[in-house]
Amino acid sequence: MPRIPERQRIAQDIRDKIASGEYGPGFKLPSLREMSTHYGVSAEPVRSALLILQAEGLIEGHQGKGVYVAGETSRS
């Protein structure tokens, strides 16, 4: 069984939390440091996962403010 890259595992976990409503529109995601600790990885896989989710339109980064789940209108 092929090993799933960390960035994909993290991105899928965040997708699942958004889909379940645990992370609703406008929810501020934990900091990069907090997520690195939570997932037991360095910052790079977390950063890569966030870039994947941003490209999918699921999250939005705001310089100096953090990363948030996109609003309903942003995902349409």
In the structure, what pLDDT confidence band is assigned to residue 72 with cuts at 50, 70 and 90? low
Q: In terms of Cα–Cα distance, which of 11, 22, 8, 20 is closest to 59?
A: 11
Contacts of 26 (CB under 8 A, 6+ apart): 68, 69, 71
Does the pLDDT value for residue 73 go beyond 80? no
Classified as helix, coil or strand, 59 is strand
Per residue in 54-65, pLDDT (tens digit) is 999 999 998 899
Task: Report pTM.
Answer: 0.88
- The CATH class for the domain spanning 6-63 reads mainly alpha
Q: What's the whole-number mean pLDDT along residues 21-46?
A: 97
Query: For the chain, what are the domain ranges?
Result: 6-63
Residue 12 one-letter amino acid: Q
Classified as helix, coil or strand, 68 is strand
